[in-house]
Amino acid sequence: MGRHVTPESGLPRIALALALPSLLVGFTIRSLGAQERAPSGEAVFRAACVNCHGADGRGAPLSTVGFAEPLPDFTDCSFTTPEPNTDWMAIVHEGGPARGFSRIMPAFGDALSDEAIQLVVQYVRGFCTSRSWPRGELNLPRALVTEKAFPENEAVITSSVAVQGSGAVTSDLIYERRIGARMQFEIDVPVSALDQGGGDWTSGIGDVAFGLKRVMFHSLASGTIVSLTGEVVLPTGNADKDLGKGTVVIEPFLTAGQIFPADFFVHTQIGVELPTDRSRASEEAFFRGALGKSFTQGRFGRMWSPMVEILGARELVSGETTQWDVLPEMQVTLSRRLHIRVNAGVRFPLTDAGSRSTEVLFYFLWDWFDGGLGSGW
């Protein structure tokens, strides 16, 4: 997510970022909570946080705070923006262990009202004065096929298995890295194993893709984010073995995410595939959309996100028809930090079902910037 800190010091720093030993909060917090009107976020921050983080949010000297863990700079937008409010509130409300962090972050749910916690979180996040950075609330759960608009730092392994007709197993190794506020670089390396008939299988690397995404518009107020991506697919796969198309393919596409009330969300993606050698591959247009809703166990626990995708593709050749598929699926978070997730679903052809196979799809997702594979459990 583009922060200028080490992977282990990203989201884990939130635990320390808002942490003060209970003795430092003391009487002032209780007095604020007893006021008839809820205190402002600035008032809570100055009463409970300023001794560690300073009035400007840049952090007090370590010699002053009395512990060795570096404090974050709240004015650094790469730190302050990527996570949603719920992650910050979970840590303030229930302490560091709520997201798999150190107990040095105490729970303040009994000392502060929910409103006061929400106000101080919003105040802290306001130290980032740049509006170029999309907020983490717009980072919606990833679908199996439809790409999302939010720029990410993720490693994803996706797999698809044909359950009818000739056997086919394809896995993609995807690496995504955020560049600044609005950009993302991506590389996708496919590996396939195909049944050539008679029990004769062939396997190898497919066509490797490189992509660059840029957020064109984002608004937390409207819950909208729109991005433009350009991909270049190189003919690294063996076309004679059906492991690639045998030509360079340029693939521009537009993606959008939209938040709706009651935790519903929608992803849309529309684009074209433009081969440089049309004797080897046809131009193709595609549409993908995903509708989902997130459910949280308890208040800040595991998140379940059922989704259904509608997928359409049509070769831009006279007489061709559009092929439509439906893909119901379920994403679930595994770690308390929510940075390890899995998703599984089944892709059913709605058109030409007799000649196209049903597929089982799966992915394993690691948001590597929020911690290691063994962190946050």
Whether residues 143 and 96 fall in one domain: no
Q: Which residue segment(s) compose the domain that 268 sits in?
A: 136-370
Residue in 9, 3, 341 with CA at minimum distance from that of residue 142: 341
The answer, yes or no, to whether residue 155 has pLDDT greater than 70, is yes
Whether residues 218 and 323 fall in one domain: yes
Helix/strand/coil for 50:
helix
To the nearest whole number, what is the mean pLDDT of the chain?
87
Tokens of 122: 């919003």
| Residue 13: predicted pLDDT | 52
Return the higher-pLDDT residue of 320 and 233.
Answer: 233
pLDDT category, 14, cuts 50, 70, 90? low
How wide is the angle at C-alpha 125 spanned by C-alphas 121 and 126, nearest 5°? 115
| Residue 195: predicted pLDDT | 82
Alpha carbons 93 and 91: distance in angstroms, whole number: 5
Residue in 237, 231, 270, 269 with CA at minimum distance from that of residue 249: 231
Final residue in a domain of this structure, among 63, 95, 125: 125
DSSP type of residue 322 = -
| Mean pLDDT for the stretch of residues 180-184 | 97
Around 267, how many Cα atoms within 13 Å sit in the side-chain half-sphere?
A: 25
158 within domain boundaries:
yes
Whether residues 230 and 285 fall in one domain: yes
Alpha carbons 226 and 149: distance in angstroms, whole number: 6
377 within domain boundaries:
no
Tokens of 167: 């056997």
CATH of residue 118's domain is 1.10.760
Final residue in a domain of this structure, among 85, 106, 125: 125
| Residue 100: predicted pLDDT | 81
Cβ atoms 223, 259 nearer than 8 A? yes
State what percent of residues in the chain have pLDDT above 90.
59
pLDDT category, 20, cuts 50, 70, 90? very low
| Residue 276: predicted pLDDT | 96
| Residue 11: predicted pLDDT | 53
| Mean pLDDT for the stretch of residues 100-129 | 84
Whether residues 117 and 18 fall in one domain: yes
Whether residues 110 and 20 fall in one domain: yes
Q: DSSP characters for 186-231?
A: EEEEEEEEEE-STT-EEEEE---EEEEEEEEEEETTTTEEEEEEEE
| Mean pLDDT for the stretch of residues 160-189 | 93
291 within domain boundaries:
yes
Whether residues 88 and 193 fall in one domain: no
130 within domain boundaries:
no
Whether residues 258 and 322 fall in one domain: yes
Whether residues 111 and 154 fall in one domain: no
Whether residues 119 and 140 fall in one domain: no
The answer, yes or no, to whether residue 106 has pLDDT greater than 80, is no
34 within domain boundaries:
yes
Whether residues 148 and 184 fall in one domain: yes
Please list the alpha-helical segments (H only) found in 95-193.
Answer: 114-125
Structural domain count, the chain:
2
